[in-house]
Structure 1
Amino acid sequence: MIYYILPLAHKQATLEIVGGKGMSLSKLLTAGIPVPDGFHVTTVSYQIFVETNHIQPHINKLLDGIDSNNTSQLEDVSTQIGKLFHDGEMPQEVSAAIKTAYARLGNIAVAVRSSATAEDLPDASFAGQQETYLNIQGENEVLAAVKRCWASLWTARAIAYRVKNDIKQELVALAVVVQKLAFSDASGVMFTLNPINGRRSEIIINAAWGLGEAVVSSLVTPDTIVVDKNAERIVSYEVASKEIMTVRTLDGTKEIPVLERLRKKHALTRDQIMRLTQIGKKIEKYYQIPMDIEWALEKDKLYIVQARPITVLTPEWALPEKDVIYTKGSLAEHLPNPVTPLFATLGLEIINRASALLWVDMFDKCAKKLLPENGAYTIINGYVYLSAKSKPILIAVKSLSPRSLRRALTNSVARWEAARKEFEDVIKQWEEKPLHTLNAHQIMEGIQTVFYAACIYFTRIQLTLPAASISETLLTKLFQGAAHRAGIKDTSVFLLGFDTIAMQSEKNLWSLSEWVKLNNNLTLYLQNNQATKIVKDFKSSVVPDGVSQEVWIEWKNRINQYFKEFGRTAYEFDFAYSTPQETLTPTLESIKSFVEEKGESPFLRQATFEKRRKKAEEVILQQIGGTRKKLFLKLLHWAQETAPMRENAIYMMGMGHPIIRRMFQEISKRFQSGGAISHLDDIYWLTESELVELIAQLDKNIPLSDMRGAIPARKVELKKYQGYVPPFKLPEENKKTISHATQKSKDGKIVLTGIGTSIGIVTASACVLNSPADFESFQPGSVLVAVTTTPAWTPLFALASAIVTDIGGPLSHSSIVAREYGIPAVMATHTATRTIKNGQMITVDGSAGTVTTWSKV
C-alpha cells in the first residue's frame, strides 16, 4: 500500500518513510510524551513529485563534478534546484492526501517541518540543514510550504555536507511533518546533560518568550537553568535580558522587541521547570541516550516539538586523583591539542622524570608532598594537564626562601645560555650520527636522550623565565601612571624592537625575498603560484618552467640554509606534529608576501620600534627623578635584558624536535617494510610498550606484530577529543553554575570576551588553525585563530591582520609578537577555536578584549 501521508503515531512511521524528525516524534507519542497533533508527508510523496516533474536527472547534471568548498558554485546550483521544485506541479493524489489530513486537523495554523532520512541519527546529525516554516494556514499555503521543505533538501550547505561525507545525492529523500502550531507563551531547548562540563547528572534548559525560533537561531540570549537531574532540584537560574521574541503574524512570523517588564522576568516557573525536567528524564530513559529537546509552553501546557540524540557528547572531566589541582599551565600550555598515544606514554614519562628534578630543586623536601602519584603532568580526556596536590601548596610556597627566589631572578640570561648550550651539544651529537647504520634500539636510545634533554632544558628555563615576567610586571605596575602622564599609552613600548631569534628569522626571510626580486623569472613564478604549489615544486627534483636551473638550485640552497639556522624549533611540543622544516607553507607564504610587497620590512619595523622606545625613555625620564628615576632605570635595564631571553628561550624549546622526528621516521620506515604499520606517521599512534616490542622484534629479525588494525580507532578517538573544550582549571571553581565563554548580543551576534593584549580594531575573515596541518589554508589578511601559538608560528604573524587565542595572557608569546607587529590581539577567549568558523567575518577589538562574529558560514 502506498502511503502519501501518515498520522504522527503510526506503525509504518519508519526512518525511510517519515525521516529522522518524523520518526522521533512518532516515538515520543508512543512513549506518552505530549507532542502537538499532526501528520507526516512521507518520502513516497517526495519521490513521486520528483519523478513526475523529472527533477532528479536535472539535479544529477547540476551536481556533476561540483566542488564542496566552492560556496558560490554551491549557492548557484542550490538556487537552480530550488526553482525546479518551485515550478513543479504537485501530483493530484499527493495534493488530495495532504488536503484531507490538514482538514482533519481543523484547517488550523501549523508548523511545517523538514524531516530528512539521514537526519537526527546518532552518527550523522544534519540538524538545522533543512527548513521549518511556522504559522502556515490554508491548504494552498500548506502545499506550498511542503514544496519549500522538499527544496530545502538541496540547500548549498546540505549538498556540501553530503559531498564531504560521501552520501549519494540520488538516494536522499525528504519527508515533512505538519503539526499544530503551539501558540507559545515561552519556548526553548533542553539538554539532558550539561553540554558545558559534560555532567550527566545535570539538565540544562534555555527559555525565552514567544516561539522557539529566536532561541534556536541565537537571536536572543535566553534564560539558562541548571537542574540536578536526580534530586530534581534547581541548581541555578540565570535570568537573561530577553530583548527579542518570535511571534505569529497574519502571513508567518517575525521578531519583535520584548516588553520592558518581561525582559528580565523568569520565563519559567519552578513548577514548569520541574515538569519539563520530568519529561526530559522520560525521553532520555526511552532513548537510552542524552537528548537535545525543543519544547513549547502554551497556557501552562508543555509540548515537545522535537527531540534528537546529542551526537557529540561533552566529556565529564573526572579527576584522576582527589585533592589535586589540574591546570593548562606551564608545559601543558605548549600542548594545546590532545596528544597522540606515543606522546601520552613515552613523551609524558620522560617529561615527568625531568619535572621531578625541577620540583626537588624548587621545593626541596616538600616536593614529594606536592607531586601527585601520576607525576607533575597527567592526561585527562586526551589533554595534558599540570597537576599539584592542593593541600600542600601553601606549605610548598612558604618553602620558597628569599634565597631561592633571588636565585631564580638573578643571572637569568647567563643561566639560560648555559642551558641552551647543554641542549645544543646533545642535539649536535645525534645529528652527526648516520642513522641508517644504527639498529632500531640505538635510534630509540637517541630519541629518548634528545627528548629528555629537551625536557631538562624546559625545566631550566622555568627558573629563568620568571625574571622576564616579573621585571615587566613591576615596570608596568610602578610606572604606568608616569607613562600615561608622559603620553605613553602602552608601557610595552619599552620592550619592543629588540633582536630576538624570531626577529632575526623574519629579517632573514626579508633578505631572501630581496634576493628573489633580483631574479625576474623567479619573482614571476612566486607571484603566479600558490604557496602550496611552490612547496610541491620545492620538494620535487624537477625545475619549474621559466626558472633557470642555476637560480632554482640557489633558491633551494638559500631556503635550506634558512632552515639550518632557524628551523630548529617546533610548532607544538608533541613530537607527533611536523616542524617548520617539514611544513614549508608559512615560510614560503611569508617570502611570497614580501616579494609581492604586501608585508612590512622587519628591518624598518624594528628601527621604528627602537626609535619609539628611545623616545619613550627620554619622555618618561622627564616625569620622574631622584630615587624613582634610579628604580626605573634599574627595572628598565632588567626588563630589556630578560624580555628577548624569554622569547629566545621558548623558541628553542623544540630545538630537538627535527632530529627526534628524523629518528622516528628511520624506525618507522623499517616498521612499514615489515608490515607493522601502513604509513610513516602511524608510529605516533603506537604506545611506548608496543614501540619497544616492535623494536625488539626488528632487531632480532623476527616477524613484526601487525598494528595496522588498532590505529584507525585511536585516530577516531583523538578526533573526538579535538571536539572537546578543555577547562583551564580542574576542579572547576564553581560547580553550581555553568560558565559562559560567549555572550549573545541582542542582534544574534556572538561576542567572545577575553583579554585584550594588543590594541587596535580589525574586521576580517577568520582562519582557525588547530595544528600545522591547517597552515596551508591560511590566507594573508585573515585573523589567526588558534588555541595558542609558539615562536615557530611567527611567520604567520606577518600575514595576519589580528590574533585570537583560547589561552594566554599579556605576557604570552602571542601577545608580545602581536604588539611587535602592531596588530590587535585578544587572548584567553577559552572557546574561540570551537565557536568561530573558518571564513567567518569577525571583529577583533584588542582594547576591549572582545571578538564579535558577524556572519554564519
Structure 2
Amino acid sequence: MTYIRQLGEVGRGDLALAGGKGANLGELVQAGLPVPAGFVLLTTAYEAFIEANGIAAQILELAALPHGAALQDYEQAALRIRELFTGGRLPADVDVALRAAYRGLGGEGAAVAVRSSATAEDLASASSAGQQDTYLNIRGAEALAAAVTACWASLWTARAMAYRARAGIDPAAVRLAVVVQDMVDAEAAGVMFTANPANGRPDQLVISAAWGLGESVVGGSVTPDDIVVEAGTGRILSRHTGDKQVMTVRVERGTAEQPVPGERRRQPVLDDTAAAVLARLGEQAAGRFQAPQDIEWALAGGTFCLLQSRPVTALRAPSGEVPTEWPVPYPKGMYFRASIVEQLPDPLSPLFADLIEGSVIRSLRALMTRSFGGKPLHEGDLGFPTVNGYAYYFYSTTGMLRMLGKTLPAVRALARGDAQLGIAGWRDYAHPRYEQQVAGWAAQPAGDLSGSRLLEGVSALLDAGTAYYTAVQSVIPAAATSETCFRQYYDRCVRREGDPPAQTFLLGFDSEPIRAEKSLFSLAAWTRDQPRLAEALRDMPAAALADVLRGGTVPDGPELEWRQWRERFVRHLDRFGHAVYNLDFLTPVPADDPAPLLATFKYYLDGLGSNPHLRQQRSADRREEATRDVLARLGPARRAAFTRLLRWAQSAAPVREDALADIGLAWPPMRRMLRELGRRLVDAGVIAEPADVFWLRLAELRSAVDFGLAGTDGTGPAITGAQRPVMVDAVERRRMRWRGQRQAAAPQMLPMIPWLERAVAGLMPAGSQRQSGDVIHGVGASAGRVRAPACVLAGPEDFSRMRPGDVLVARMTTPAWTPLFAIAAAVVTDVGGPLSHSSIVAREYGIPAVLGTGVATQRIASGQQVGVDGDAGTVTTAGPVSHSAEATPQ
C-alpha cells in the first residue's frame, strides 16, 4: 500500500488521495510556483489507522447526529471521537513510511508544518476553510506522529461536522490526508485574494500582510496591512497600513505571539515592488486553476513562497465604486424620494430609467390638467431624474411654490372624487381602464409583432401602469384618512381601560395579498394529501421546481400528480403572479420567476406557519365581538359616530391593498415584449443574452429597431466583428456600476440641508440617515416585541436566505413580499409608515413592525441578533452575528 507521495506527484485528479489542500499544492508545484518542499501522507494512511484501531463504526455512529442538532451535541461527539484517535496507534507500515519521508525533508529534528487536507476541503463548491487543524514548527518523528493523529481527529471537530451537515456532505464519504512541509521561517506572511472580495472585481488582487508567520492574519489577532493591486500591471490601487501590535513567531517547540517592536508597528510590510511581485504569483496561481484563489503566502530571505491555495467560493458579482457624493443635475429645486419612488428602492436599470421619466411626467401632467384645467405645471417645473442611478422627483423652486398653492383645491378634488380620484375613481375608472389596456396588448403574441410595435407596446404598457399608480396614490390618502379618523375618535371618545386597540376593528378582512396567501396555503395543503408528490417536492431545489412550472420536463414519479400540481400552481400565478417586488421591470415578477414563492410554499408544505384561513377567521371573530361590546355600551350619538367612522375605515383599508396589488398587471406582458426584443438582438449579435436588453439605453434600442435588428423573424442585419463587443462590454460596465450604486444609501432629499430635512421629516417615507448608536428609530407600525436573528434582503433573489423566525429587514416591501411575512418574526424597513402595506400585513399576521427607519439595511447585518419593539418604534442592534437563536418574545 502506498502512503506517501511528494507534493509534485499529486494534482487536482488526486483529490481522493491527497485531499483538497494537498492536491492544490501539487498543482502549484507542477506550475513551477514557489512552494516549500514537502510530501502528502495520503488518505490511505487515515483508512489504515481507523481500520487497525477498529474505530470506523464508532466514528460514524457518533457523527450520525439528527438534522438540526445543537452545537453542544456536536461538541460532545467531537470529544468522544478525539479520544478514539488519541487512544490509537499508528500501524507499523504507516509509521515506517512517515518516518522515511520525514527524514527526506532534512533529517531528524527538522522543523516542519503539518497541515490537514480533507477530501471535502478547498473545493470550488465548499471551502471548509479553517475546519481542520494545522500544527507549525513540529520537530522529531514522535511529535510528527502525534501531530498527524491530531490532524486526523480534527476531521471530526464540532465545527467541521456541523459545516458538512449544512453542506449535505455524507460523513461516511470524507477522508483526511496530511501535508508535511519544510517550516518556513517567515519574516512576513499573510493572505491574498486574486479577485477583490469587497467588490467582486477580477481585475484587482487584495493582499493582507503582517510581520512574522501568517497565523496572526488568518486567526484575526492582528490588524494587517491591506493592499489592492491592479491585475496585469501590478499598479497599487490603494494601501492601508495597519497598526500591527502582535506577530506570530517560531519558538523552541511550536509558535507563540509576541509584541511587534514599536518602530515596525506602522511600517509597511511590503513596498510597492514586493506587492507587485506577489500579485504576479497570485495571477499565475489563478491562471493554473482557472478560478480566483484565496492564497496563504510567506516571505523568507527576500523570497516569496505559497503555502496553500483554495478557490474563492463566495465571490460576489463585480461591482463599481459605491457613490459618496450626490450631485444634482438641475439647480434651483428640490429632489425627493417619495410616492412612486418608494416602489423603486434600487438604482434604475438604464432602459427603465429612460422610459419611466417621460411616463411619470406625462401621468402627472394629465392628472393636474384633469384636476385644475389649463396647464398648472410649466415646462421645467417637474422632472424625474436619477442621481447615482436612484430615481428622484424634482420640483423647481417656482414649481414647488405653484404646487403648494394648489394644495387646498387638490384636497377638495380628492374629497369629491373629481378627475377619477379616490376610491370611487379607482373602482369605476382607473382599474377597469388599466385592465382593458393590459388585456389589449397581452392578447397580441409578442413573437408576431415587429420590433417597432414591441417597443410601442412596452411604452404604452408602462404609461398605463404609471397612470394607474397615480390613481392609486389618491386611494392611499383616502384610506389612510379613514383609518386615522376612526383611530382618533375611538382612542379619545370610546376606548376604556382593558378595551382592545383600534386595529382590532380593522383586521380579518379579505384583500388581494391575503387571498394570494390563502391560495398558496391551500395549494400546499392539497399537495400534502399526495404523499409521493410532497416528498419529491421537498427534495427538489426551488430553481428546478421553477423550471417545471415554466414548462420544463416533469420529474420521474407520480406523473398525474405532478401535472395536477403544475396546473394548480400555474393558476395561482395567473391570478396573483403580477405582483411586483420592485417597479423596475428589470426585476422579474412571480409569473416570470416563481422561485421566491417556492420557499414559502415548502414552508407550508411542511405544516409550518399559521393557517391563514383560521387566522383571518379568528381576527374577524375578535373584531365582531369587540364591535358588539362597544356598540352595547354607547349612547345613540356616539354609537352613530363610531359606526359611521368604523364602516368608512373598514371599507377603505382593503381597497388600498387591492389597488396596490394590481399595479403590476402590465408587467408580465411588458417583460414578455422586452425579452422578445432581447432574443432578437441576441440573434443579431447585438447583445449576449436576452436579459441584456434591460441594460440598453432607449436610444440604443430604438436604433437597433430602426436598423431592422429586431424584426419578427430575428434575421435583420447582424452587428459583427468589432461592433459586437462594444455593446456587450457596455452592458457589463453598466451592471458593475449598478451593483456599486446599489450598495449606497440614497438620501431621501437633495440637496442635503440638515434644517430642511428636519422641517419636512414628517412628510417623508423614511427616517433620518444621520442616526447613530445601537438603537435605530423608526415608526412603530405593528405592536409587539421580539428578539431574533436579522435577515437583510435586497430583493427576491435573496428570499431563499430567509429562515423561519428571522426578522425580515428590507428597504421596503410590496404585496409581492407578503409570503415572507408568514415566516418572519418581525419586519423592519427603511421606507414606510404606520399606514403602509408593510404595517397592514404585519398587523394581520400579528408580528411586530418598525418601518421608515431610513438606515436599517445599512446598519443591520444578516445573522445579527436584533430587538424589534413595535410599540416604541425602535430596533436595538447590539448583538453578535449568529443564527443559533430562535425568536424570543420580549
**CA distance in 1 between partners of 2:395 and 2:514 (Å):** 36
Distance 1:482 1:138, change over 3 A: farther
Which AA in structure 2 matches 1:763? R
**CA distance in 1 between partners of 2:856 and 2:541 (Å):** 28
Residues 535-550 of structure 1: matches in 2 within 5 Å? 535-539=546-550, 541-546=552-557, 548-550=558-560
2:131 paired residue among 76, 91, 101? 76
**TM-score, normalisation: structure 1:** 0.67
Structure 1 position 823, deviation (Å):
0.9
Tell me the residue number matched to 1:855: 880
Residue 340 in structure 1 maps to residue 318 in structure 2: no
**CA distance in 2 between partners of 1:624 and 1:439 (Å):** 67
**CA distance in 2 between partners of 1:127 and 1:367 (Å):** 55
Residue 423 in structure 1 maps to residue 434 in structure 2: yes
Which AA in structure 2 matches 1:798? A
Residue 330 in structure 1 maps to residue 339 in structure 2: yes
Structure 1 position 732, deviation (Å):
2.5
Structure 1 position 539, deviation (Å):
4.1
2:741 paired residue among 692, 709, 721? 721
**CA distance in 1 between partners of 2:410 and 2:361 (Å):** 26
Distance 1:333 1:409, change over 3 A: farther
1:658 paired residue among 668, 677, 687? 668
Which AA in structure 2 matches 1:144? A
Tell me the residue number matched to 1:24: none
Tell me the residue number matched to 1:169: 294
**CA distance in 2 between partners of 1:666 and 1:550 (Å):** 32
Which AA in structure 2 matches 1:786? A
Residue 554 in structure 1 maps to residue 554 in structure 2: no
Structure 1 position 725, deviation (Å):
0.4
Tell me the residue number matched to 1:804: 828
Which AA in structure 2 matches 1:812? S
1:59–1:81: 8 Å Cα contact kept in structure 2?
A: no
1:788–1:806: 8 Å Cα contact kept in structure 2?
A: yes
**TM-score, normalisation: structure 2:** 0.65
The secondary structure found in structure 1 opposite 2:508 is coil
Structure 1 position 805, deviation (Å):
0.7
1:762–1:802: 8 Å Cα contact kept in structure 2?
A: yes
Tell me the residue number matched to 1:639: 649
Tell me the residue number matched to 1:611: 621
Gaps of 5+ in 1: 1-43, 103-110, 151-161, 177-310, 745-749
Structure 1 position 404, deviation (Å):
5.3
**CA distance in 1 between partners of 2:380 and 2:135 (Å):** 61
Residue 399 in structure 1 maps to residue 406 in structure 2: yes
The secondary structure found in structure 2 opposite 1:462 is helix
1:468–1:642: 8 Å Cα contact kept in structure 2?
A: yes
Residues 396-475 of structure 1: matches in 2 within 5 Å? 396-401=403-408, 405-408=412-415, 410=417, 412-417=422-427, 418-475=429-486
Structure 1 position 415, deviation (Å):
1.4
- Most deviating of 50-59 and 356-365: 50-59
**CA distance in 1 between partners of 2:299 and 2:321 (Å):** 24
**CA distance in 1 between partners of 2:184 and 2:411 (Å):** 89
2:863 paired residue among 821, 830, 839? 839
- Most deviating of 411-420 and 788-797: 411-420
Structure 1 position 527, deviation (Å):
3.3
1:741–1:752: 8 Å Cα contact kept in structure 2?
A: no
Tell me the residue number matched to 2:791: 767
- Most deviating of 87-96 and 163-172: 87-96
The secondary structure found in structure 1 opposite 2:672 is helix
Distance 1:409 1:333, change over 3 A: farther
1:686–1:711: 8 Å Cα contact kept in structure 2?
A: yes
Tell me the residue number matched to 1:377: 384
Residues 648-727 of structure 1: matches in 2 within 5 Å? 648-698=658-708, 701-704=716-719, 706=724, 707-727=727-747
Distance 1:741 1:67, change over 3 A: farther
Cα deviation digits, residues 410-440 of structure 1 (max 9, x gap): 5833311221110111111111112222211
Cα deviation digits, residues 508-528 of structure 1 (max 9, x gap): 112212221221111222334
2:754 paired residue among 727, 734, 743? 734
1:580 paired residue among 573, 590, 601? 590
**CA distance in 2 between partners of 1:638 and 1:174 (Å):** 76
Structure 1 position 766, deviation (Å):
2.1
Distance 1:403 1:66, change over 3 A: closer
Structure 1 position 453, deviation (Å):
0.9
Structure 1 position 376, deviation (Å):
3.9
**CA distance in 2 between partners of 1:644 and 1:82 (Å):** 67
Residues 491-570 of structure 1: matches in 2 within 5 Å? 491-539=502-550, 541-546=552-557, 548-570=558-580
**CA distance in 1 between partners of 2:250 and 2:739 (Å):** 48
Cα deviation digits, residues 360-396 of structure 1 (max 9, x gap): 3445567325x745x3422111111122234554543
**CA distance in 1 between partners of 2:744 and 2:552 (Å):** 42
1:413–1:642: 8 Å Cα contact kept in structure 2?
A: yes
Cα deviation digits, residues 19-55 of structure 1 (max 9, x gap): xxxxxxxxxxxxxxxxxxxxxxxxx999899998554
**CA distance in 2 between partners of 1:83 and 1:428 (Å):** 75
**CA distance in 2 between partners of 1:84 and 1:511 (Å):** 63
Cα deviation digits, residues 583-614 of structure 1 (max 9, x gap): 21232222222221102111111111111222
1:781 paired residue among 801, 805, 814? 805
**CA distance in 1 between partners of 2:802 and 2:616 (Å):** 25
Which AA in structure 2 matches 1:617? T
Tell me the residue number matched to 2:324: 315
Residue 822 in structure 1 maps to residue 873 in structure 2: no
Q: Percent identity?
A: 30
**CA distance in 2 between partners of 1:49 and 1:95 (Å):** 20
Cα deviation digits, residues 611-656 of structure 1 (max 9, x gap): 1222232334456535443332222221111111111111111110
Distance 1:123 1:786, change over 3 A: farther
Residue 356 in structure 1 maps to residue 468 in structure 2: no
Distance 1:665 1:138, change over 3 A: closer
Residues 15-54 of structure 1: matches in 2 within 5 Å? 54=112
Tell me the residue number matched to 1:237: none
Structure 1 position 534, deviation (Å):
3.0
Distance 1:345 1:144, change over 3 A: same
Tell me the residue number matched to 1:65: 123
**CA distance in 1 between partners of 2:328 and 2:236 (Å):** 28
Gaps of 5+ in 2: 1-32, 40-104, 148-179, 189-210, 213-220, 270-285, 302-319, 759-767, 883-890
Structure 1 position 320, deviation (Å):
2.5
**CA distance in 2 between partners of 1:799 and 1:314 (Å):** 34
Distance 1:805 1:75, change over 3 A: farther
Q: CA-atom RMSD, angstroms?
A: 4.4
**CA distance in 2 between partners of 1:600 and 1:336 (Å):** 30
Distance 1:48 1:552, change over 3 A: closer
Which AA in structure 1 matches 2:691? D
Tell me the residue number matched to 1:115: 225
How many residues are treated as equivalent by the alignment? 648
2:776–2:856: 8 Å Cα contact kept in structure 1?
A: yes
Cα deviation digits, residues 666-725 of structure 1 (max 9, x gap): 111100011100011100100000000011122573334632121111111111111110
Tell me the residue number matched to 1:229: none
Structure 1 position 552, deviation (Å):
0.7
**CA distance in 1 between partners of 2:858 and 2:35 (Å):** 36
Distance 1:139 1:55, change over 3 A: closer
1:454–1:654: 8 Å Cα contact kept in structure 2?
A: yes
2:114–2:135: 8 Å Cα contact kept in structure 1?
A: no
Structure 1 position 819, deviation (Å):
0.7
Structure 1 position 482, deviation (Å):
4.0
